[in-house]
Amino acid sequence: MDASSKKVSIKTAARVRPCSHGTNLQSSLTIDSENSTIIVKSKNKEYRLNNVFDEDVTQETIYDTVAQPIVYDFLGGINGTIFAYGQTGSGKTFTMNGYKITETSDSPTRGIIPRSIESIFEILNEQSKNDPQFKFSIKCSYIEVYKKVAFDLLQTDSATVKIQASGEQIIIVGAAEFVVTSAKECLSHFKNGWNNRKTAPTSMNRESSRSHAIFMLTLVTEEIQGISVNLRTSRLNFVDLAGSENQKQTKSTGERLKEAGSINQDLSHLATVIRDLEKKDSFIQYRNCFLTHLLRDSLGGNSRTSVIVTVHSNLKFVNDTLSTLNFAENCKKVKNKAKVNVAVSTKDVEAWKTEIQRVQKDKSSLMEEIQQLKEEKEQMEKRQKEDAGTILILQNEKKTLKVEAAKHVQEVNEEKQNLQTQISFLEKNVAEQKEQINALEKSQKEAFEFQLAQMKKEYDLKIKKLSNDLNKANEKEKKREAEIAEMKQINSGLQNDNKQLKEKVQALQIINDQMKNQRDADDNYEQPDICSDNGDLDYVDENEVPIIPTDESVSSGEESDSKENEVPMQASPGSTSHQSNIIRAPNYRLGSEYYRSKWIKHLYIFDFNDKTLCYNYVIPPKNEKSKKAHFICINCKNKHKTNVCATIVSNENGEECVKLDTKKHVCQRQKFEPQTIIYEPDYKLITVECGGKKVERLYVLDSNDKTFYYDYIWNQSAQSYRCSNCVKKKHYSSAHLTKDESKKECCVLSAQKHHHDCKPKKL
């Protein structure tokens, strides 16, 4: 093979990644693999590359189409580079390495690198087998560029790696080179290196490469041809670039954001270098970035280069797809000058001559490079000069701005001074006005206080006068009230007197009537048999007959009301007119009733059929001491002025009985309701204060429930105690305090029952 070189364009291929499982999205791309075209539908943009692969392409096809030609050239002594470029998660690593780093040699998903390694060793082994003169040695090294710093992936201490340029050659300093004798050995280093690579999960890829990884194979072959020995040296770079990332879309933060920034800068510089390579006479700034510096040969230099771009078909990533395809299109325009790197041919003079020629050529290419560097230097100086001009302009602008700023500051200061003068003037004014206001307030306050004091004095005097007047009026009022009370007292005394007088007049009237009736009766009186022994009745003396209130008179509410009984006279049962009649117990009963401070003996002759009805007889006080107890019916006497008598006698057996008068009763039988006599503690007389006066109250316990009592008040005119509740209903149930016949203190309750609305009080 000769060392002459010819310009060859970078080969470009595009691979469309299949959609993830479960996503059934419409493709944004139209892929025509046959014509090697890919159309971005939404942008209506068509790209024509060397190869276009759809989702179904196999790893084998990719290797055969993209990598194999480069591998063959590499074996022939020509430098080669295979790039994978594309958005994160689009399948670069899958294309370069395969599905898994641990895949075996028969796995169909193995990527370009394992396939290349296997193929290289297979061919070289085959060749050395066929040609015993043929010798080869292979070294491998593996580095990554992370955040603009390069590290050796085959050394665990993560040593940093530097680049040195020697003529056309790029020498990597600090990266370990391992001599490998078999594909297995080589793959083992590759896998170790890969495991040291920096990865992290991104929104697009669970295991995203966060660095650019470059796996390098350096091959030296020795081939004897006649008298000459050809030493060929070639390098093959496998470049798996870190994925470009739309930072707005991925919303990464912190370390991920820094990584993404650095990756995007590197890729953008790579794109700039490739764009500049199209332009003629353009200065290419390889050295500005480690990646471009390292791959200098591969980009427009001594190398056969293939770029495979990977894209997503998802419409969501259409902008990234466009940018990736633009990159591929630009790469396509870059032309490299690849040549066979024959190191030495040493066998005879011819070979030396050829070597000299080669060295001279190298020299002239070095001169060219020197020239190129000089030009670069000149351009840089030119740029520096331009920059210096710009700096001068900027300095002048700065000076002008400074002067303007100083002016402005002065103006502001002056204005500030003016304002301060105005402020102090205003402050002075304000202070003066404040003083005036204070003085005014003070004088107003004094005047107001003086007025207030005057008014207070006047009011005090008025109030004093008014309170004096009021006191006088109160005293007058009191006097008037006392006079009224006195007059009321006199009036009530007079009323009482009047009432008492009336009562006395009524009583006298009754007595008068009774006496008159008595006289009339006496005139007509037929002497009963029982009284005939002396032919004269003591008790018919009208002065001696007690005026005892009948039930009817009591129930009418007037103690001495002696209305005539309108009921016609009836004969009592069991008695006949003008016939004497003997009554035995229990048809009669003797008793005593208290009347006008005296105990009067009573004889009750009961109805034979109804023992609740009786005729009520009394002994006239005058006859009390007589041996024969002659009783007289008080109703007949009082109402009809008729003497109907009854006498207590003994019959032939010595038994006590009552002998009745033969005279008919002119009254009717009354209800048998004798007075009730009670003893302490069934009653209690107490004295209570009432309106400053001492008043007697008689409490009589309820016979049914002795926790209740009736309240009686002394009534002067009636000379008895009266139930205070019944009085309100004009109903007069009364009580007397006296001594019974055995001289024991007792309380006599009138036969008159309490009014039906009168309820006893709780004790």
Ligand X SMILES: Nc1ncnc2c1ncn2[C@@H]1O[C@H](COP(=O)(O)OP(=O)(O)OP(=O)(O)O)[C@@H](O)[C@H]1O
- Amino acid at site 495: Q
Report how far residue 763's alpha carbon sits from residue 760's, in angstroms, rounded to the nearest whole number.
9
Q: Applying CB under 6 A, does 90 fall inside the site for ligand X?
A: yes
Q: Is the peptide bond before 201 cis (omega within 30 degrees of 0)?
A: no
Task: Report whether 308 contacts 84 (CB < 8 A).
Answer: yes
Task: Indicate whether 18 belongs to the interface with ligand X (CB under 6 A).
Answer: yes
Q: Which pairing describes strands 29-32 and 37-40: parallel, antiparallel, or unpaired? A: antiparallel
Six token digits for residue 407: 């002016």
| Residue 163 C-beta: closest distance to ligand X, Å | 24
Listed in sequence order, the residues at least 6 apart from 359 whose beta carbon sits closer than 8 Å to its beta carbon are: none
- DSSP at 640: H
Binding site for ATP: residue ranges? 86-93
**Residue in 209, 298, 518, 752 binding ligand X, rule: CB under 6 A:** 209
How far apart are CB 56 and ligand X at their closest, in Å?
9
**296 neighbors 286 (Cβ within 8 angstroms):** yes
Residue 18 vs residues 57, 224, 314, 321: alpha-carbon distances, Å: 10, 49, 9, 14
**Stretch of 83-91, 146-154, 246-254, 628-636 lying at the interface with ligand X (CB under 6 A):** 83-91
**Residue 312 interacts with ligand X (CB under 6 A): yes or no:** no
Shortest distance (Å) from residue 145 CB to ligand X = 14
Q: H or E stretch including 328?
A: helix 318-333
Q: Which residue's CB atom is positioned nearest to ligand X?
A: 243
Q: Is the separation of the CB atoms in 275 and 330 below 8 Å?
A: yes
Strand partners, 145: 150, 212
Least distance from ligand X to the Cβ atom of residue 273, Å: 20
Shortest spacing between CB 84 and ligand X, in angstroms: 7
242 binds ligand X (CB under 6 A): yes
Tell which one of 77, 80, 243, 300 touches ligand X (CB under 6 A).
243
Cβ distance to ligand X smaller for residue 99 or 708:
99
Is there binding between residue 709 and ligand X (CB under 6 A)? no
Nearer to ligand X, 148 or 184 (CB): 148
DSSP 549-589: PPHHHHHTT-TT--PPP-SPP-PPTT--TT--EEE-TTSEE
CA distance 329 to 338: 20
Distance of closest approach, residue 403 Cβ to ligand X, in angstroms: 54
- Residues with Cβ within 8 Å of residue 91, at least 6 apart in sequence: 15, 17, 310
DSSP string for residues in 468-514:
HHHHHHHHHHHHHHHHHHHHHHHHHHHHHHHHHHHHHHHHHHHHHHH
Q: Give the range of 86-94, 427-435, 599-607, 745-753 binding ligand X by CB under 6 A.
A: 86-94
Residue 99 found at the interface with ligand X (CB under 6 A): yes
Known binding site: residues?
86-93
CB closer to ligand X out of 12 and 616: 12
C-alpha to C-alpha distance for 496 and 490, rounded to whole angstroms: 10
CB nearer ligand X, residue 101 or residue 530: 101
Work out how close the CB of 86 gets to ligand X at its nearest, in angstroms, rounded to a whole number: 5
Looking at the Cβ atoms of 88 and 330, the one nearer to ligand X is 88
- Decide if residue 208 touches ligand X (CB under 6 A): yes
- In the complex with ligand X, which residue's Cβ is closer, 63 or 710? 63
Binding mask 315-354 for ligand X (x = CB under 6 A): ----------------------------------------
- Quick one: which of 10, 12, 13, 17 contacts ligand X (CB under 6 A)? 17
In whole angstroms, give the CA distance from residue 460 to residue 453.
Answer: 10
Please pick, from the candidates 94, 238, 594, 617, the single residue that binds ligand X as defined by CB under 6 A: 94
Q: Using CB under 6 A, which of the segments 200-208, 341-349, 415-423, 476-484 binds ligand X? A: 200-208
One residue of 40, 51, 73, 89 binding ligand X per CB under 6 A: 89
Instruction: Write the binding mask 580 to 599 for ligand X: x where contact by CB under 6 A, - elsewhere.
Output: --------------------
Residue of 13, 31, 79, 92 that binds ligand X (CB under 6 A) = 92
| Residue 527 token pair | 């002497």
Closer residue to ligand X (CB): 144 or 593: 144
Residue (of 584, 740, 601, 717) closest to 659 by Cα position: 584
Neighbours of 410 (CB within 10 A): 10
Check residue 88 for interaction with ligand X (CB under 6 A).
Answer: yes
Would you list the DSSP string of 373-405? HHHHHHHHHHHHHHHHHHHHHHHHHHHHHHHHH
Q: Is the peptide bond before 586 cis (omega within 30 degrees of 0)?
A: yes
Residues 40 and 624: their CA atoms lie apart, in Å, by 155
205 is a contact residue toward ligand X (CB under 6 A)? yes
**DSSP code of residue 209:** E
Q: Nearer Cβ to ligand X, position 221 or 310?
A: 310
Between 51 and 205, CB nearer to ligand X: 205
Give the helix, strand, coil percentages of the chain, each rounded to 5. 40, 25, 30
DSSP string across 238-272:
EEEPPPB--HHHH---HHHHHHHHHHHHHHHHHHH
Q: Closer CB to ligand X, residue 241 or residue 299?
A: 241
**Complex with ligand X: residue 16 or 530, whichever CB lies closer:** 16
Q: Which of 86, 114, 301, 546 binds ligand X (CB under 6 A)?
A: 86
Binding mask 39-78 for ligand X (x = CB under 6 A): ----------------------------------------
* Cβ pair 339, 234 in contact under 8 A: no
Q: Specify whether the backbone of 202 is left (phi greater than 0), alpha (psi in -120 to 50) or beta.
A: beta
Stretch touching ligand X by CB under 6 A, among 28-36, 91-99, 704-712, 738-746: 91-99
Closer residue to ligand X, CB minimum distance, 255 or 411: 255
Give the residue with the Cβ less far from ligand X, 88 or 323: 88
Site stretch for ligand X (CB under 6 A), options 118-126, 201-209, 365-373, 709-717: 201-209
Using rule CB under 6 A, residue 91 touches ligand X: yes
The window from 81-89, 162-170, 488-496, 587-595 that contacts ligand X (CB under 6 A) reads: 81-89
The stretch near ligand X (CB under 6 A) out of 82-90, 127-135, 331-339, 491-499 is 82-90
Report the nearest approach of ligand X to the CB of residue 12 (Å).
17
Cβ closest to ligand X, residue 17 vs residue 602: 17
Greatest Cα pair distance in the chain: 217
Identify residues 438-467 at the interface with ligand X (CB under 6 A). none
Judged by CB under 6 A, does residue 310 bind ligand X? yes
Which residues make up the interface to ligand X (CB under 6 A)?
A: 17-18, 86, 88-94, 99, 202, 205, 208-209, 242-243, 310
